[in-house]
Structure 1
């Protein structure tokens, strides 16, 4: 009850009266207790500071007494009804006893046995369980053994891969089983959720035919209604033990890796010892070596798999049917070339057995030259480079060759789609053909051509003259080369200038940054098919690795493509196209093909952009309508390059002779890979392997 004085202070009934009224109003007054109305009337209302405001209103007390009397009448009626009830003539039927494992009714019994690994130590466990339960069921008069279901090498944290367990549950659903025997809760399931769900499922899937599970170690029978709490505790313990085992295994791996005791397993070509050593198996090693050599020799994975299947070469597990993925997996394992990587993948969920690549999530290790290799590191690296190539290497690993003399000295013959290319390797190959003095003189000229250094002649009268960049005059009748991040594209005029030849070779000089295209024959290992047999022109070729080398060397921004005007030089019966990479037209846009009229410069807007990564500016032109542009520094020069520089370039190109154009390169070792067998050596060894396989 609450009251309020004239000043606005709210009063409350004394604590004792308030509690008494609240309890009695809800539950009524006990028979042994009577309400002292005099005490109630004497109670006073007080405010929050303890000051008396007024006495209790007697009308409220009357209402309370009325409700109390009504409740008492109802209570009395209930008592009288129960007292007058007589015992009926009905027959009382007692409930059946609680189910126990010792019930005498006949039962079809299924037995479930499981071990988590296929180790030799656990082979006897399955056999012992089988013999024990066969005898136990046979010795029980009312039991008949239906079947023993056993899963070997299967984890109990999930039912996903336990085929025998799932078949047992299906048999129970079809009423073929009345009882399931299992050694312990942990053998049945190490996942608490699975355990409780499956027990309920077996009990209720056929209400008239419930199937119970008896866990012998814990002495739990699941049809006993009193077993639920006991089973929950043991299921939780089994789940906890599984999680704890996972943590122990992680810690054990950490300790072994940190102490150099790397875990090793058998794999095709190797067997491991107890000491952690990998020993080559000669017969299996033939298969491994054949795969690597065939792959770098020009065969693809499907062709290699077909050969191995025809020869019935067994895998580690005895399979003789191969596919491309199996072949690639053989070449992806570092142990085949003598290295060892420990903990490449990790399990992120021990229940679902989900795994992922170990990206420094846990301790790992990589040790080179851990054991004797089946193939050399260079052969393995060559295979990885073939895999990374943007075109099929039908002729095997391409050769690197460099011209050693003449006016094309230092030019390297390249295969643009070959993954074993990088800028440093091309520069190293080029520099090897020059003497120290020659190289210094060449670099001196390059610095003059680029404007980084002044020459003596530059100070003369002609040095003030400038000539426009040739790219300004580019049109459809002139040959053009476009270098993109993934492809090199040729204009139709390029084919026309080289008389629509079918095969061409690309030469590249990484110091003077010049590309030359010349005609070649199909027996050239680095030849490119420029025209199909049906006469269709090849307008672009895949060049991911080569383009990357150029972009990095010249510090080009990745979002741009670069177009260059070609100069045709004809000497006798020979022709070449020369493209200088320091006079670019910059193609702005995600894809060059979205701007089919880009060559019509007079009809297109243009601008000047910062196109190098070392400028610190990554912004594109503000005018979104720009599809072609030029280097920003050209805007400062207004016209073009120094007349002297152009003369020097032209003199170098004009000096090229027919002998220079016909000059072939000398094959050199690829610095990216190192020494690998020659094409003929690979062919010879493959033939020998096939004869013995």
Structure 2
């Protein structure tokens, strides 16, 4: 019974399907018999857009070359003449404008000013068609190419702007060209990527074989065989910038001087600014070296560059060509430039007091970048005899740095450190040190009679600072008061602070305040600060408690002490008591800075600078 029912359902469906097919055939045959009547109402579509139709067209031309070489300039001019003639010969065409980008990559439109102006004009319906020699001239980025073609069609849907790519014979308003455009855009994109890979490989090969790429720069001209020759007149400008920095002339003042003297840049401009001046200092070719591939392109489409941190091969060649300035002058000038606030007298000399109560103290400019921990520790140790150094090292627990007793935590009783720092009041002269700066309170200025210049000394073995009045003419002096009498309380000290923090093992999240002890001898004053006797200004996030007692760990290691031994305290007390006027006035001996090397005498540098100015 159920089988009979199934067969019946299938037969009914088959009959119904055949009837529907018959109905369709009959409907189509009826329409065919009424064909002539239907033709009366039929309206055919317009022909597919073509560049050869009879419609008048305002035609724009886009031309691009990727470099500014003489050959490429010739290419731009030839394209311009060719399209001017081609458009003039077509009676239906009228030249709207020729947009050309010279020396611009086709991987992005960001830096193609003419291209972007063309898009704006198209949006404003100033043209009907754009002619471009090839898809690759229009864009080498497939997404850019297709996106911009789509934009030109959709700016004004009732008045789309088409692009005719002459080499590929593609007109973008013709639907038949869409597929071909996609293929050619893909090929242009691939070729661009392949070109980038070829350039990287070529650069690798040149570096490995010692054929380093060179180019003209201010002070030099390059030859076809990869040599750099000094351009004498421009070299005067370069040397002036370096020597002026070494002697303390700021970048703005140097730029103003060069502008007044109409000194040309490499591009022939005679107006300078501070950024242009600073840029001269950090190119190693000015002191005779050559670094190949300092930067790399990480995204050729977006044109993103970054410093080469070893991702690709590079080379550094010392003494590659004749130098304009010595490496020592170059290092010194660059350090002055990068040391904020320390360029008043140019290069900061390193001086150390060789004898007396202040033996081992090194003159410090807190913002001077031309020092590091090893330099200061080494210079300080060198001033002591072997036996004397052993005694100092032993008394202060210094072994390869600064080793304290094994006390790692301090009971602060409300975050106040007992010992000498506990006697700090609002009338106490204080110095506060953080990782960024040093701050003197007003009492410090008052105790040193509000002197205009000071000299700061640091003994990295005794962990002490001294502050005394400095001479305006001294390279180690720091301005402490402006001409209008306004005091300078805060000084940038990132480099010096990092040295002290490392020597002391302090946590960088804390600041430290020290009381100053002033001594006066026959009208001369000096102030002492003991760096191992601080008032800690903590980061409250690091404060912990144990059974109601508050304490913090101020050190980064587990072997640090909160102070010095009784013997050292007695020694310091004797130092303060025995200090004489001669000690306070003691001049330091200048030593060679190993981070720079041996510089000429300042007088000789000044004479050379004056001779340069006279020849400009």
Which shifted more, 146-155 or 84-93? 84-93
* Corresponding position of 1:269: 219
User: CA-to-partner distance for each residue in 1:223-278, whole Å, 9 max, x for gaps?
Assistant: 43322222222221111111111111111112212222221121111111111111
Q: What is aligned with 2:412?
A: none
Alignment partner of 1:511 is 2:461? yes
Match of residue 611, structure 1, among 555, 563, 572: 555
Show the 5 A alignment for 1:13-412. 56-85=2-31, 86-87=33-34, 88-89=36-37, 90-91=39-40, 93-207=43-157, 209-412=159-362
Q: Quote the Cα distance in structure 2 between the aligned partners of 1:127 and 1:491.
A: 69
**CA distance in structure 1 between the aligned counterparts of 2:215 and 2:398, rounded to whole angstroms:** 61
Identify the residue that residue 448 of structure 1 maps to in structure 2: 395
Query: Helix, strand or coil for the counterpart of 1:515?
Result: strand
Matched position secondary structure for 1:613: coil
CA RMSD of aligned residues (A): 3.5
Q: Computing the radius of gyration over CA atoms, which structure comes out larger, 1 or 2?
A: 1
Q: How far apart in 2 are the matches of 1:194 and 1:74? A: 51
What do the CA deviations read for 1:619-677 (whole angstroms, capped 9, x no partner)?
A: xxxxxxxxxxxx6577xxxxx844x5544443344332222222222333323212234
CA contact (8 A) 2:49 2:173 kept: yes
Q: State whether structure 2 residue 596 is matched by structure 1 residue 673.
A: yes
- Local SS of the residue matching 2:529: strand
Answering whether residue 371 of structure 2 is matched by residue 421 of structure 1, we say: yes
- Structure 1, 91-100 or 125-134: larger mean CA deviation: 91-100
Q: For 1:70 and 1:512, how far apart are their aligned partners in 2? A: 109
1:659 to 554, 557, 582: 582
Q: Give the TM-score normalised by the residue count of structure 1.
A: 0.76
Say whether the 8 Å CA contact 2:245–2:337 is kept in structure 1. Answer: no
Cα distance 1:96–1:607, how it changes in 2: closer, same or farther (>3 A)? closer
Aligned pair in 2 of structure 1 residues 568, 322: CA closer, same or farther (>3 Å)?
Answer: closer
CA shift for structure 1 position 584: 1.9
Question: Which residue in 2 is equivalent to 1:24?
Answer: none
Give the Cα–Cα distance (whole angstroms) in 2 for the partners of residues 59 and 136 of structure 1: 80
- Asked if structure 1 preserves the Cα contact closer than 8 Å seen for 2:342 and 2:365, the reply is no
Does the 8 Å CA contact 2:421/2:514 hold for their aligned counterparts?
no
Q: Report the Cα offset of residue 605 of structure 1.
A: 7.1
Give the secondary structure class of the aligned counterpart of 2:324: coil
**How far 1:178 moved relative to its partner?**
4.0
Q: Secondary structure at the residue paired with 1:308? A: helix
Q: CA deviation at 1:445?
A: 4.3
Find out whether 1:541 has 2:457 as its counterpart: no
Structure 2 CA distance for aligned equivalents of residues 538 and 207 of structure 1: 67
Pairs within 5 Å for 1:522-671: 522-530=472-480, 538-581=488-531, 583-585=532-534, 587-590=536-539, 607=551, 609=553, 611=555, 613=557, 615=559, 641-642=565-566, 644-671=567-594
Cα distance, 1:440 vs structure 2 = 1.9
Q: CA 1:382–1:139 in structure 2 vs 1: closer, same or farther (change >3 Å)?
A: same
Query: Does the 8 Å CA contact 2:61/2:98 hold for their aligned counterparts?
Result: yes
Contact 2:278 2:337 in 1 (8 A): no
What's the CA shift string for 1:276-312, capped at 9, x where partnerless?
A: 1111111111222222222232222222222222222
Partner SS, residue 64 of structure 2: strand
Q: Secondary structure at the match of 2:461?
A: coil
Q: What CA distance in whole angstroms lies between the structure 1 residues aligned with 2:429 and 2:98?
A: 80
Conserved in 2, the CA contact under 8 Å of 1:610 and 1:632? Answer: no
Measure how far apart 1:215 and its partner are: 2.6
Which residue of the partner structure matches residue 12 of structure 1?
none
Q: Aligned-pair distance for 1:379?
A: 1.7
Q: Is the 8 A contact 1:331 1:380 kept in 2?
A: yes
Rounded Cα–Cα distance in structure 2 between residues aligned with 1:275 and 1:665: 51
How many Å separate the matches in 1 of 2:607 and 2:324? Answer: 18
Whether the aligned pair in 1 keeps the contact of 2:255 and 2:272 (CA below 8 Å) is: yes
Give, in whole Å, the separation in 2 of the partners of 1:390 and 1:176: 53
Aligned match of 1:689: 612
Deviates more, 1:286-295 or 1:399-408: 399-408
* Cα distance per residue 1:394-424 (max 9 Å; x no partner): 2222222223343333332222222222233
Segments of structure 2 that go 5 or more residues without pairing to the other structure are: 400-416
Partner of 1:625: none
Secondary structure of the structure 2 residue equivalent to 1:670 = coil
Normalised TM-score (structure 2)? 0.84
Gaps of at least 5 residues in structure 1 are 1-54, 453-467, 596-603, 616-630, 635-639
Distance 2:5 2:275 in 1: 93
CA–CA separation in structure 1 for the residues paired with 2:242 and 2:420: 46
Q: 1:570 to 1:257 in 2, by over 3 A?
A: same
Between stretches 117-126 and 257-266, larger displacement belongs to 117-126
What is the deviation of 1:103?
A: 3.2
Report the more deviating stretch, 231-240 or 563-572.
563-572
Provide the C-alpha distance between the structure 2 equivalents of 1:494 and 1:95, rounded to a whole number of angstroms: 93
Encode CA deviations 1:485-510: one digit per residue, 9 max, x unaligned: 23334455544544554443222233
